[in-house]
Amino acid sequence: MTIDPQSPLARGTAIVTGASSGIGQAYARRLAADGHNLVLVARRADRLRALAAELTGTHGGVRVETLGADLSDSEDLDRVVRRAAEDDIDVLVNNAGINGYGPFAETDPALLEKVLAVNVVAVTRLARAAVPGMLARGRGTVVNVASTLAFAGSLPPGPLPTRAVYGGTKGYVVTFSRTLAAELDASPVRVQVLCPGLTATEFHLTQGQESVSGDQARVHDDGGMPVEDVVTASLRALETGEVVCVPGLVDGAAVDRITEAETGLRASSAGTLAPRYRDPAQQ
């Protein structure tokens, strides 16, 4: 898919986190093919350098910077935040994430803090760094990558992973993105939350304490949707104005039904106690 010249992704430099594999790597390739200069961020600097060489070799006019950074490290995150705030950034793809899967009562608290740092704090700080400049320049796009697990809070593990903190962080990304999109609705800055299901990446090969080893990206045994299809869905949704993009969702109206349910829940804020919570003796 070629990006239309009038689309929100028509110009400027794109910063892509988690670009060393999976969705981030696929997004980097698509953006480079459409003429974007890139800032690639990930822990595995060697993979970033290899990707940068590939992209500049294939697309001669594209400039590619690499930033080796662990977004759970405050100093590393500060470096990336400073770059995201510079005046050439018109696209931010907040793709980096780790899962920290495991029983809540048994998972290392340090790993859970890392999940929060990467999936929530980094996403928020990078968006906060990039959006003011986008507003000032009159153009910009933020894509925050969540997961369909954001909508699976009541579903038990098996076959889904044990995921209390991961699911919570992705729920935050969905709510943050939708609310920010509504706040910026009258502005020229677009916000999308991309919610893929199982995707053919190496994401499930580690809980996130360490990167997956090796020079070449791998795919976990469970497979899933090809990353190219996930990115195609995201780009198409940006063109059509979908804030919540779920690449495998056939019934797009399901997202509208979430909004309807939320409207009903919000209507309960009138201050009157619901009958079912009242003391039966006082009814």
Residues 56, 92: Cα–Cα separation, whole Å: 20
* 27: annotated active-site residue: no
Residues 23, 227: Cα–Cα separation, whole Å: 5
Query: By the 8 A CB rule, do 141 and 238 touch?
Result: yes
Q: Which of 91, 141, 160, 149 is nearest to 119 (CA)?
A: 149
Burial grade of 124 (CB within 10 A; 0-12, 13-18, 19 or more): middle
Q: Which of 241, 185, 178 is nearest to 4 (CA)?
A: 241
Among residues 27, 101, 166, 172, the one annotated as catalytic is 172
In 3-state terms, what secondary structure has residue 93? strand
Question: Would you please indicate which residues are annotated as catalytic (active-site) residues?
Answer: 172
